[in-house]
Structure 1
Amino acid sequence: MEIDWAKTVRSLRLRLRLKQGAMAELIGVSQTYVSRLEAGLVLPPAPVAEAIMRLAEDPRTRSLFDDLRATVDHSPFPCLLLQTGPDGPSVEAASADMARDFLANNRQIHDAPALDRLISDLDALTRQGLLEGNILGASAVWVDRYRSDRFWQVRYTPIRDETGASFIHITLAGLADSPAARAAANDAAPRIERFNGS
């Protein structure tokens, strides 16, 4: 996966609560160079990229969001972290099972037919305020598009990183075929849990 250096440097600097000059000292460049990196005007040469990654991966400087992203990447269960944006959600991280079984090793959810229900749920949840900070989470039951005897309990959790960017953490858990699972899978909309308990 290609690194977005502008985003990486800016989020790292904000997380560490550093001014550009202090960040520049830590990675061995000038303040002007950090400014240009954050603006996406330059790509770091190998030694600078290595210094940035060492700083980002140091457990003492890693954010909770970085830990969440790593948890998704290394999960033995199907899970996904989507970043929201004006062009729709994009994959930030995906477990190996999610990438193989649902994304077909593609990083775009709109190109993954197995995720049609996810896209539909996200559209409905967004209209209900998922990204506005008043929804704690939501859940739904899906029937597998390719195997009608396999069901998934799906959990949607909105989160923000240290820069305020919006993400949605999605986890799937297999359910046994049962009348209750079949009835729940027929529900048109996910169940929403709001912060006020409604």
Structure 2
Amino acid sequence: MNWGKELRAFRQRTGLKQEAAAHLLGVSQAYVSRLENSTASPSAQLEVKLERLLQEPEHRPLFEHFRTTISHSPHLISMLAEVDGKVVVDTVSEALRDHGTPFERLTPGEVLESTNSDVIEILNAFLTLGAFSGRVASMQVTWTYENKGDPVSHWRTTEIPVRDDAGRWYLHGAHVEITAEEKAQLLRDWDGPIKVRTFADDDSEGDAEPNPANDTEAA
């Protein structure tokens, strides 16, 4: 096994810093760098530590456990990331993939693309509104899957920004299949396929004046 290549891939996937990996392995950060650059080879004892780090759950960062809960969730859940200005698939639940079209083809690392106008608008909004930089509290979107030879389906997805151990932002999405009529109503209610909730919205709700109609006094 190419331990350096495996360790680098593990760190990139989990956001683990070289210094943190060095601490877990009991070596220096400089040694980790040499190992990943293939200028050093691990001893048999270090290979055991590397295998434990890469495979045993207790040595994984917290966010890696979060990914695992998504992967094995019985609900229709996905998680998206931004890579080089593109929206990509990070994690997909088994239930979502098993649901069938259009999710069975989703693959981690795949760039999300579409010819559907509302999906294009949604993906662009994820990037321009700062969904991957923590600038929104949540986003609700409604969209339609249409592909020749496949059944048409309509969806409502709630996207919640979450952050990993390294400070990178992702979108945790919960998907619900809806009818064409329900989608049409959402488009009217939201004046488009997207409803954005900002942190300012949350603050304004917290500062709202109490409604006197909700106050009761003893007679």
Q: TM-score, normalised by structure 1?
A: 0.71
In 2, Cα distance between the equivalents of 1:169 and 1:144? 19
1:171 and 2:141 matched: no
> Matches of 1:13 and 1:48 in 2, distance apart?
16
Report how many aligned residue pairs link the two structures.
183
Q: 1:79: how far off?
A: 1.8
Matches within 5 A, 1:94-133: 94-99=92-97, 100-107=100-107, 108-110=110-112, 113=114, 117-133=118-134
- Provide the residue aligned with 1:66 in structure 2: 64
Equivalent residue in structure 2 for 1:41, among 21, 33, 37 = 37
Q: CA RMSD in A?
A: 3.6
Separation (CA, whole Å) in 2 of partners of 1:4 and 1:197 = 43
- Say which SS state the counterpart of residue 131 (structure 1) adopts: coil
* Alpha-carbon distance in structure 2 between the residues aligned to 1:98 and 1:44: 41
| Structure-2 separation of matches of 1:50 and 1:119 | 42
Alignment of 1:172-191 (within 5 A): 172-175=175-178, 177=179, 179-185=181-187, 188-191=192-195
The match for 1:23 is 24
The Cα shift of 1:115 comes to: 8.1
Contact 2:132 2:161 in 1 (8 A): yes
- Match in the other structure for 1:85: 83
* Preserved contact between residue 138 and residue 155 of structure 1 (Cα < 8 Å): yes
Matched letter for residue 133 of structure 2: E
Q: Deviations over 1:4-48 (max 9, x none)?
A: 632534757559x8473x2331xxx564332235xx424987645
Distance in 1 separating the partners of 2:125 and 2:136: 12
Which residue matches 2:143?
142
> Which protein is bigger by CA-based radius of gyration?
2
User: In 2, Cα distance between the equivalents of 1:81 and 1:189?
Assistant: 19
- Structure 2's unaligned 5+ residue stretches are 203-219
Match of 1:6 in 2: 8
